[in-house]
Chains A and B, each alone.
Chain A
Amino acid sequence: EVQLVESGGDLVQPGGSLRLSCEGSGFTFSSYAMTWVRQAPGTGLEWVSSTSDSGGTTYYADSVKGRFTVSRDNSKNTLYLQMNSLRVEDTALYYCAKGKWLRDIDYWGQGTLVTVSS
Chain B
Amino acid sequence: DVVMTQSPLSLPVTLGQPASISCRSSQSLVHSDGNTYLNWFQQRPGQSPRRLIYKVSNRDSGVPDRFSGSGSGTDFTLRISRVEAEDVGVYYCMQGTHWPLTFGGGTKVEIK
Contacts and interface: CB of A to CB of B under 8 A. Distances in A.
Interface stretch (A12-20, A39-47, A81-89): A39-47
Interface residues of B, number: 22
Interface residues of A, number: 19
Nearest to B101: A47
Interface in B77-112: 90, 92, 94, 96-97, 99-106
B100 A105 contact: no
Nearest to A63: B100
B37 interface: yes
Chain B interface secondary structure, helix, strand, loop or mixed?
A: loop
A103 interface: yes
A33 B30 CA distance: 21
Interface string A84-118: 00000000000100000001111111110000000
Contacts of A105: 39, 41, 51, 94, 96, 101
B94 A109 contact: no
Given A44-B103, A47-B100, A59-B99, A111 B48 contact: yes
Pick the most buried of B48, B54, B92, B104: most chain A CB atoms within 10 A of its CB: B48
Nearest to A108: B48
A104 B48 contact: no
Contacts of A109: 48
A98 B104 CA distance: 20
A59 B96 contact: no
9 contacts: A35-B101, A45-B41, A45-B92, A47-B103, A95-B49, A103-B97, A105-B94, A105-B96, A109-B48
B48 A61 contact: no
